[in-house]
Chains A and B, each alone.
Chain A
Amino acid sequence: MLTVDIREHPSARLVAVAGRFDAHTQSTVADAMHGATDLVLDLGEVTFVDSSGLATLVRTHTRLARDGGALIVRAASQPVRIILELTGLERILAIQPAEAAALLAREAA
């Protein structure tokens, strides 16, 4: 089960994901991120992420970097933080604490 909340702000799209982010649901998250140049991704309520979910994050990160944009991951839940650390992806993806990202979101609003 996965829910995705999308909010458009002038300078970034905010996408909040909750539930399981895996091979079965990754296309929903990919669709939510599609077309944005700057993305703030809230993974605070994600209960599980597998390698397909991680591949979706990396693909989006690569696309945005190539297009001059950025993907910021905020409020990563504990399961997400653990898997990012175990795969070394926390060194690749820009991960911000929730407060900083919330501030960014307010400024964007």
Chain B
Amino acid sequence: MTATLEAHLDRALAELGTSNRRLLAVCDLSVSLGTSLDATVVVRQLAKETARLLAAPSVTVALHPDLGGGGAEHPGPYATAYGRSILSQLEVRDREPADPVELEDGPTVILPLSVDQRPAGALAIRTGAAGLDPADLWLALTAAAAGSRALQACHDHARGLEAARLEAEYALAAAVQDRLRPGDLPTVAGLDLAVHSEAALGGVGGDLLDHRAHADGVLVAVGDVTGKGASAAMVLTAAQMTLRRLLDRHTDARPSDLLDRLTDELHPFLSELGTLMTLALVHVSSDDGVAEIVSAGHSPVVLHRRGGTPRLLLPTHAPLGVDSEPADPRSVLLRPGDRIVAATDGLHEHEFDGGADVGLTTVLSTIERLDRTDELVAGLRALVPGSVQDDLTVAVLAREVPPCGR
């Protein structure tokens, strides 16, 4: 506080000793402002009550644009240009709050209002040329402080409402995604499937996981939509519903056929949004162990032969949303014990505190180390400690080793 202002306040307090009625009035102002959580009402009331308290010819309250702008004047209508000229005075350095500023309508004392300890607006009191006497200045400063507190309460309330609205929207999105989760793992003789999927943001994510008994075996879909949060979740929901519909209609369709159909339906939508989606579709026949794999830019997809070294399978197609020529699917014969692992980048791109990431090498060595599918899924999940930073999905589809072959 500056020495000049301090001197004003000392004198004011001395005078207020005989002016308890006005002191009570400013207390009333503080209480009445605190009863509203609507900034418009607070601003109007602050202008009106300050004018009454100080018997000032005119009081204006102007809000900073960050708080929605606007303001109130008592008496008379609020003029935006006048509000702007008041706010601009707050930016003048070395200005004493007690010193009246010469504005078009006459000398005016301009006091700052703040929210979150940042400039939020101004309380402008038209005065005579001498400005406010010390007692009035003290009352005006008290009114401005009460106004700041009331505006802070409005701001906190609005922020709370916004947070509650977002929370409700996320809860709804999470409920929708929950309904879209695949059901129980398919039970198909000779094949073993284990999966894990986890969203980073309150159950709402951009990873796709689906599986079902399909044609003569099991089909697994693992995908990832660019970005995070609600927008990625909406794209994912559209993609998952499209995939479900295609699977219901084309019960014998192979991954390559499904990907062609998905591309036809989703490409215009994705390219218009400027977003990408990677997707791996894996089907393994329980009859002969033939696996057909298509990967639209998805990685990692890993083939692990029993007792061998896991190897990455490169994509067969560009991600969905990119103009590209269709490519051939990849077919491999899975022998008993062989398996295919598909995951999303939330696994190998997970970054530790020091800046290093999990990395594909660690993923591959974990695949090599753990035999059982459920152990492997748990082991891969455990590479990311605690809660996930990014959506994370892992699926392992293996051809079982017959009891006599163990």
**Could you list 28 examples of A-B contacts with CB < 8 Å?**
A50-B345, A50-B349, A51-B226, A51-B276, A51-B345, A52-B227, A54-B226, A55-B274, A55-B276, A58-B276, A59-B274, A62-B323, A86-B300, A86-B312, A86-B314, A86-B315, A87-B318, A87-B319, A88-B296, A88-B315, A88-B316, A88-B317, A88-B318, A88-B319, A91-B318, A92-B318, A92-B322, A92-B324
Is A100 interfacial (CB 8 A cutoff)?
A: no
Q: Which A positions have Cβ atoms within 8 angstroms of B?
A: 23, 50-52, 54-55, 58-59, 62, 85-89, 91-92
B224: A residues at CB distance < 8 A:
51
Closest to A82 in B: B360
Is B311 interfacial (CB 8 A cutoff)?
A: no
Closest to B319 in A: A87
Please report the C-alpha to C-alpha distance between residue A50 and residue B278 in the assembled complex, in whole angstroms: 12
A53 to chain B, nearest CB (A): 9
- B275-312 vs A: 1/0 string, CB under 8 Å? 11010000000000000000111111000000000001
Please report the C-alpha to C-alpha distance between residue A86 and residue B312 in the assembled complex, in whole angstroms: 9
**B contact patch SS:** loop
Closest to B349 in A: A50
Please report the C-alpha to C-alpha distance between residue A89 and residue B315 in the assembled complex, in whole angstroms: 9
A-B contact count (CB 8 A): 63
Please report the C-alpha to C-alpha distance between residue A50 and residue B322 in the assembled complex, in whole angstroms: 16
A50: B residues at CB distance < 8 A:
345, 349
Q: Which of A50, A54, A62, A87 has its CB near the most chain B CB atoms (within 10 A)?
A: A87
B278: A residues at CB distance < 8 A:
51, 87
A21 to chain B, nearest CB (A): 13
- B258-280 vs A: 1/0 string, CB under 8 Å? 00000000000001001110100
Size class of the B contact interface (CB-based, 8 Å): 20 to 34
Q: Which of B271, B296, B297, B298 has a CB less than 8 Å from the CB of A62?
A: B271
A69 to chain B, nearest CB (A): 15
Please report the C-alpha to C-alpha distance between residue A88 and residue B299 in the assembled complex, in whole angstroms: 10
Given known pairs A62-B323, A91-B324, A92-B324, the reply for A54 and B315 (CB within 8 Å) is no
Closest to B224 in A: A51
Q: Which of B275, B322, B345, B349 has a CB less than 8 Å from the CB of A89?
A: B322
Is B255 interfacial (CB 8 A cutoff)?
A: no
Closest to B298 in A: A87
* Residues 314-348 of B at the A interface (beta carbon under 8 Å): 314-319, 321-324, 345
Is B212 interfacial (CB 8 A cutoff)?
A: no
Please report the C-alpha to C-alpha distance between residue A70 and residue B329 in the assembled complex, in whole angstroms: 30
B228: A residues at CB distance < 8 A:
23
A58: B residues at CB distance < 8 A:
276, 319, 321-322
Closest to B225 in A: A51
B298: A residues at CB distance < 8 A:
87
